[in-house]
Amino acid sequence: MPHQNTNPIATRLPFAHRQQKPRSKGLNYVRAPAVLGGVLRDTLDCYAPHIDIMKLSGHQASMCSESSIVSAIQTCHAANVRVSVGNPPIDVAMTGGRACLEKVFTIFEDWSIDLIEISVIARSVDEDDLVTAIALAGNHGIEVILEVGVDFAHTTSGDHELFLRRRAQIASNALSAGAKYVLLESEGLTENRNGAPNRWDAVEAIIGHLDPASVIMEADNQDVMSTLIDIYGPKTNLMVDYSRIEKLEAARRGFGPSQFLWGKVASLSSDVDA
């Protein structure tokens, strides 16, 4: 299988063990670099063993040339990396109605997109329509990541207006309807808190009842990343920017990026030669 981790240092030092791809747990969900060509190829050349899903971020799927998008998808697939698309393209497609969404899914199927994100914080979606959207994606061979959270795009909410039980219910219902993952958006929880404490209780209220293998948590801040690994374990699924791949893998192995995780991660299996 291409791009497995065969670094002789990594295989001979007793870092915490990381299962080779394809993985069912401990997924790294990574935002693609802004330039999809050489920058993406260099990123994959260095870090493909540590990337499970690459997200075409922002407007990449709607603004980059089709040839660059298709080339990027083929490059990712050759490196055993799946590809997803999220907002804004999916948000706009959802707003356009069923026919618009179907057309977009047909294009994504032609491009061999693996997953799409549907956000229930960027858009207000009836649950019956959400079930329909999940089914439509499945008809095109595309899996769904449901994005859930309390805030979106630098909005702010008070502790008394988080609707945590409702958000947890939507997440659970989406998985029951066939969504592959629930993605917990960090905005308002551990991001843009303006000095206020992180809302760890809200994190637990939304996703704590779900199967950890079905949850991806956004973790761009290195202390947040390390805290999530400390509490949920080194095989928790996390989302980061492409510039933080090395820090995330270091955290999973217990030697970085934050001091309180240093040397703490344990594993009962090892690839280290005896």
Q: What is the CATH number of the domain that holds 147?
A: 3.20.20.70
Quote the pLDDT of residue 1. Answer: 40
Identify the three-state secondary structure at position 148: strand
| Distance between CA atoms of residues 96 and 226, nearest Å | 39
Q: Which two tokens stand for residue 174?
A: 């989406």
In a domain? residue 56: yes
The reported pLDDT for the residue numbered 47 is 95
Residue 3: what pLDDT?
A: 56
**Per the domain annotation, does 68 fall within a domain?**
yes
In a domain, 23, yes or no: no
Q: Is 11 within a domain?
A: no
pLDDT at 269: 65
Identify the pLDDT of residue 274.
33
Instruction: Give residue 170's pLDDT.
Output: 97
Residues with pLDDT less than 50, the chain: 1, 271-274
Give a yes or no: residue 90 inside a domain.
yes
- Asked if residue 3 belongs to a domain, the reply is no
- Of 21, 9, 38, 19, the closest CA to residue 79 belongs to 21
State which residues form the domain around 254. Answer: 28-261
- Between the alpha carbon of residue 55 and those of residues 26, 90, 238, 265, 270, the distances in Å are 17, 13, 13, 27, 30
- Number of residues in the chain: 274
Residue 74 counted as domain residue = yes
Neighbours of 109 (CB within 10 A): 14
Let me know if residue 127 belongs to a domain: yes
Structure tokens at 65: 């040339």
Count of domains for the chain: 1
> How far is C-alpha 235 from the geometric centre of its chain's CA atoms?
14
Q: Which position has the token pair 């969504």?
A: 179
Residue 79 is predicted with a pLDDT of 96
pLDDT at position 4 is 62
Instruction: Check residue 265 and give left, alpha or beta (phi > 0: left; psi -120 to 50: alpha).
Output: beta
Is-cis flag, bond preceding 49, omega within 30? no
